[in-house]
Structure formats: C-alpha cells, structure tokens
Structure 1
Amino acid sequence: MKKAELAAEVAEQANIDAKAAAKAVDATFNAIVNAMKAGDEVRITNFGVFSVTDRPESQGRNPQTKEPITIKAAKVPKFKPGKPLKDALNEG
C-alpha cells in the first residue's frame, strides 16, 4: 500500500474528503518522525512502539575489493508490534 492509497482508505473509513485525509496522514507521520528525532518513543496502543536505537561503529568489507571499511555509527528506527497487531495478522 502506498501513502496515497493509505490516505484514500483513511478518507473512506473516517468519512472525510481525500485532501483532509492526506493532510492527516502527513501530520501523523511528521509527528512520529519529530518525536523520534527528539529521542522519544511513540507508543500507539494496540498497534506498537516506534523507537530509535544507536548502532555502534563496526568493521565491514567492501564486497568488490575485499578491502576493510569502517561502517559509521548511526541512529536507526525500530518498530515493535503490539500483541493485538500480531494477533490480527495471525487470525485464521
């Protein structure tokens, strides 16, 4: 599902126009990103938790030249699904 399709689904389920739904979807994603940039977790009850973890610097190897390379440290997004979401995906 693409973002436009998600917005269309939100518009249909919430009985609002497509432009308002697209703005709501964009605002939701922006709020999640901004919270994660600030180092906060975003907990959505019955859905899951979005968080940020630190990946330390590590050593790797260039697959073409086989030369060792340093992979720099980075912050990476993480999502842990909630039990209701997992249960919904595994229903009969």
Structure 2
Amino acid sequence: MNRTQLIDAVTTATGRSKADVAAIIGATLETVTAAVAAGDKVTVPGFGSFERRFRKAGTAPNPRGGDPLPVAAKHVPAFKAGAAFKQAVSGA
C-alpha cells in the first residue's frame, strides 16, 4: 500500500474528504519524523513505537572486492511493533 492508497482507505473508512485525510496523514508523518529526529520516542499504544537509535562505527565488506570499508557512526530510525499490531499480523 502506498500513500495514495492509504489516503483512499482512510477516506473510505472515515467518510472524510480526501483533502482532509491527506492533510491529517501528512501532518502526522511530519510530526512523528520531527519528534524522532529530535531524539524523542513516539509511542502509539497497540500499534508500536518509533525512536532514534545510535549505530556505532564499524566496517562493512566492499562489494567489489571484499576489502573492509569504514562505516561512520550514525543515528537511525527504529520501529518496534506493539502487541496488538503483532497479533493482527500473525493472525492470532
């Protein structure tokens, strides 16, 4: 499902206009992105949590020859699924 399909699905489920749903989804994603980028954890009970994690510097193999290449330390986004989401996906 892409963004357009998500907007269509939420429009159908809520009866709201596409413009309203697109604005709400856009604002939600921007807010979550800004909060995680700032180092905050965003938790949606039953769905999951988004957070920023630190990945240490290290090495990775060069695909062209296997020689080790340095990889810089960086922050990466992470998502941990909530119990209800895990249950829905597993079919339990």
- Structure 1 residue 68, shift from structure 2 partner: 2.4
**Identity value in percent:** 28
Q: 4+ runs of 1 displaced by more than 3 Å?
A: none
Q: Deviations over 1:32-59 (max 9, x none)?
A: 0000011000000110011110001101
Q: Any unmatched runs of 5+ in structure 1? A: none
Q: TM-score with structure 1 length normalisation? A: 0.92
Q: Any unmatched runs of 5+ in structure 2? A: none
Counterpart residue number, 2:5: 5
Letter in 2 for 1:79: F
RMSD: 1.1
Counterpart residue number, 1:64: 64
SS in 1 for 2:16: coil
- Structure 1 residue 81, shift from structure 2 partner: 0.6
Higher mean C-alpha deviation, range 73-82 or range 57-66? 57-66
SS in 1 for 2:19: helix
Q: 1:59 to 1:22 in 2, by over 3 A?
A: same
Q: TM-score with structure 2 length normalisation? A: 0.92
How far apart, CA to CA, are the structure 2 residues paired with 1:87 and 1:62?
Answer: 39
Tell me the matched-pair count.
92
Counterpart residue number, 1:18: 18
Counterpart residue number, 1:49: 49
